[in-house]
Amino acid sequence: MARVKKCDRCGVIYQNNQVTKNCEVLGGINLCNRHDESLEETHKDLCDDCLRSLDKWLQEGSKVHHASEKV
């Protein structure tokens, strides 16, 4: 039986991710929220398009951050 997922960002229905990073297939992100003494973790499924968008956003933010450090 095929496993069907729904992207938690855009809502698209998909079966498997194809996006890889460091030879691992990516399937989403884990968000951690520290509240007082506890740590709350939430997993978000992301489709390939949203994974690529997130990676692009992270890479561009890294470039902006490094450029501002050179001042």
Task: Give the pLDDT score at 66.
Answer: 60
Mean pLDDT, to the nearest integer, of 32-41?
Answer: 84
Task: Give the pLDDT score at 1.
Answer: 65
Q: What is the pTM of this model?
A: 0.71
Q: How many structural domains compose the chain?
A: 1
Domain containing residue 24: 5-69
Per-residue tokens: 28: 């989403």
Collapse the DSSP code of 15 into the 3-class scheme (helix H, G, I; strand E, B; otherwise coil) and give the result.
coil
As a whole number of angstroms, the distance between CA 67 and CA 32 comes to 28
Mean pLDDT, to the nearest integer, of 8-28?
Answer: 89
Mean pLDDT, to the nearest integer, of 57-61?
Answer: 88
